[in-house]
A and B are shown apart, each in its own frame.
Chain A
């Protein structure tokens, strides 16, 4: 068994909706999948007409030489694995339910928007509106694990409900607005207006400025944090930047409806 590997046969100029890959595992055979009709421009093509396809695992997919015209990779995907090489378009992992998505490259805006579960790994940068609310929903990421090696753009993580998010790079302006809950670990710098109207959640940062409206708690033992980081490490399968770092805990102001906590680490 080898992963199903797709590569564009020729240069393309129009946006292409890659959400058809999320259903690949439902096909009886590779042959059926290859003759599936997809739209490119205003014409229908068989998958095999646009892509050269090798391998045979319909639930384990590799996209090679991806380009920024490819939107909706991993859209609503359930249970499958996908590895993508190259820079891609909008809405990577939009409303994904489960499984894993790995991107070796950069993603445009709206990656992980409306994510419900599963794991996303981005070994590159992500654009604005990362983990955005879906068009018709009032909550951002509902659950899941996210790792971004590079930077994340503006307006990210609005109204996150649950989830464990690790960002090794920097994060743009207006992140975590009205965050409902969940945990976010940020190694790099943080843009303006962080965490406006935050409700709950745990945030790991190095920027002392952000603790202004918070109160430092006494030096509790951080056994749970240790345990939590170990768990994250086992998912990420590599070192987490927080390991062996000293953490100070700050808690939010109840009167301002802020029940969130900040773990400040020294860089």
Chain B
């Protein structure tokens, strides 16, 4: 079956195509060359007056795993949003089905769960298997697990650490590695309540800096495309931009990705001891070549914060709204914390958080280095992306909201002085091509011949950019038209993206002994096998290439 997207205005940043009238042909889920067509074209979609982009990619969204399920359970009183098309689960903690529906309707075709606890990976994959339409994947959490920290404590060689990292990627079927509050989650289990970048944890005598250095190195050495995904120390604490900068330095110039950087760009100036450090952070971002980030924009309203960072979530529980929260220590692996929260536009702190996120977007010189996220659902549910895009593309819209915020905000933000308005070119980069590139997904985020036919078609005539991005005319997933004019046409099920760098298997012996002694599960049963992913978990995998293994 061949589908023809006829004369759309194509945005394909990876191929340096911006707003060019072009035809696209699709067969068997791939984009094909017109020249290779041998049979008749079955379906022609007229795309004149339409914008054609690769399907959008969300590289940081909490869509599966234990903490998401705790939130779903905890927030039952919000599960009253049934309206015929969707179940009643709330968008701040949606069911798997609703997650898939809402993403695909916005033209998102690949989404990545950033906090896959290795021990919880089987559950996270099983949950994600029940999300229809989209491709998915996860980043395994390391840096707080007792095995890794004992490796560091015992001065294990970098190559041994690399083997462990590669093993974890394989065992948990992950696409990358994330570290959350390096060492901090573990230190919290020993009753440490804060851990700065150069502070040593009491039990293991290790600093977050060492953890970040070793892990960024491991990922570089192994050739894993996605840089270390870092949720820095001191999340949400005024003045934390300094530790953010120190964390950047800890990578020693190797690639590093800082996630939800908005929560990490706080100063402590002013009479309230809370200020924006977006300028300082953006200077680094613009200057340092191997540094990327996603923003984690907040929006006003009820949401729920969920994080592996039990240390900071325990601190935040006082702000819980409604008044309930949960923290958990997990399996000598990591932790988690779920705290419902309501961002209020009349709160000085929340209003400034909103402004800081936008400042970071607007100060970033290179859209290939900054990604559009709300850290769903921590900053806001992912359904607010179209609104966020409008904030970036429309200065007067942005300023109207800014002017309604509490007095005094303007003294603390430079947002009103920023004239920049994002262009469609830039939006297409930061939501498609750039995330595909930073994740190493060669067949995604572009419309090259042979790439996956995950395509979103927007109506160019729509006056409101928010409306345009919220309601694409067509969404194609693997070549199937799954959404047409807001209606679901067909249910499809995506794949799970992984990487599998090579490693020295002797690490499994060492780890096996550790498991036998200290865990409550055998190493062999901990590993999620490829065929298990298909048969039991229900989520077939796609293995992405690693760069050639570097010499160590």
Please say whether chains A and B are actual partners in one complex.
yes
Q: Please report A residues at the B interface, Cβ cutoff 8 Å.
A: 134-138
Secondary structure call for the B interface: loop
Cβ contact within 8 Å between A136 and B75: yes
Residue interface mask B60-78, A partner, CB < 8 A = 1: 0000000000000011110
- A12, B350: Cα distance in complex, Å: 53
Chain A residues closer than 8 Å to B74, beta-carbon distance = 136
Cβ contact within 8 Å between A136 and B76: yes
- The answer, among B76, B322, B324, for a CB contact under 8 Å with A135, is B76
- A135, B323: Cα distance in complex, Å: 14
Chain A residues closer than 8 Å to B77, beta-carbon distance = 134-137
Chain A residues closer than 8 Å to B322, beta-carbon distance = 137
Secondary structure call for the A interface: loop
- A171, B189: Cα distance in complex, Å: 47
Which residue of B is nearest A137, CB measured? Answer: B77
**What is the number of residues of chain B that contact chain A, defined by CB distance less than 8 Å?**
7
- A134, B75: Cα distance in complex, Å: 12
- A136, B74: Cα distance in complex, Å: 7
Cβ contact within 8 Å between B76 and A138: no
- A222, B309: Cα distance in complex, Å: 55
5 additional A-B residue pairs with CB within 8 Å, beyond A135-B76, A136-B74, A136-B76: A135-B77, A136-B75, A137-B77, A137-B322, A138-B324
Chain A residues closer than 8 Å to B323, beta-carbon distance = 138
| B528: min CB distance to chain A, Å | 32
Chain B residues closer than 8 Å to A138, beta-carbon distance = 323-324
Chain B residues closer than 8 Å to A135, beta-carbon distance = 76-77
Chain B residues closer than 8 Å to A136, beta-carbon distance = 74-77
- A134, B324: Cα distance in complex, Å: 14
| B75: min CB distance to chain A, Å | 7
| B452: min CB distance to chain A, Å | 40
Residue interface mask B312-343, A partner, CB < 8 A = 1: 00000000001110000000000000000000
Which residue of B is nearest A114, CB measured? Answer: B77
Q: Which of B290-324 contact A (CB under 8 A)?
A: 322-324
| A134: min CB distance to chain B, Å | 7
- A138, B324: Cα distance in complex, Å: 9
Count chain B CB atoms within 10 A of each CB in A136, A137, A138 and give the residue with the most.
A136
| A252: min CB distance to chain B, Å | 24
A–B Cβ pairs within 8 angstroms, 7 of them: A134-B77, A135-B76, A135-B77, A136-B74, A136-B76, A138-B323, A138-B324
| A37: min CB distance to chain B, Å | 11
| B180: min CB distance to chain A, Å | 27
Chain B residues closer than 8 Å to A134, beta-carbon distance = 77
Which residue of A is nearest B78, CB measured? Answer: A136
| A137: min CB distance to chain B, Å | 6
- A85, B531: Cα distance in complex, Å: 61
| A258: min CB distance to chain B, Å | 22
| A58: min CB distance to chain B, Å | 21
Chain A residues closer than 8 Å to B75, beta-carbon distance = 136
| B338: min CB distance to chain A, Å | 13
Which residue of A is nearest B322, CB measured? Answer: A137
Which residue of A is nearest B323, CB measured? Answer: A138
Q: Which of B52-106 contact A (CB under 8 A)?
A: 74-77
- A134, B78: Cα distance in complex, Å: 12
- A138, B323: Cα distance in complex, Å: 9
Chain A residues closer than 8 Å to B76, beta-carbon distance = 135-136
- A137, B74: Cα distance in complex, Å: 10
Chain B residues closer than 8 Å to A137, beta-carbon distance = 77, 322
Which residue of B is nearest A76, CB measured? Answer: B80
- A137, B321: Cα distance in complex, Å: 12
Which residue of B is nearest A134, CB measured? Answer: B77
- A201, B324: Cα distance in complex, Å: 24
| A38: min CB distance to chain B, Å | 14
- A135, B322: Cα distance in complex, Å: 14
| B84: min CB distance to chain A, Å | 11
| A36: min CB distance to chain B, Å | 13
Count chain A CB atoms within 10 A of each CB in B74, B75, B76 and give the residue with the most.
B76
Residue interface mask B162-184, A partner, CB < 8 A = 1: 00000000000000000000000
Which residue of B is nearest A95, CB measured? Answer: B77
- A138, B76: Cα distance in complex, Å: 13
- A135, B75: Cα distance in complex, Å: 10
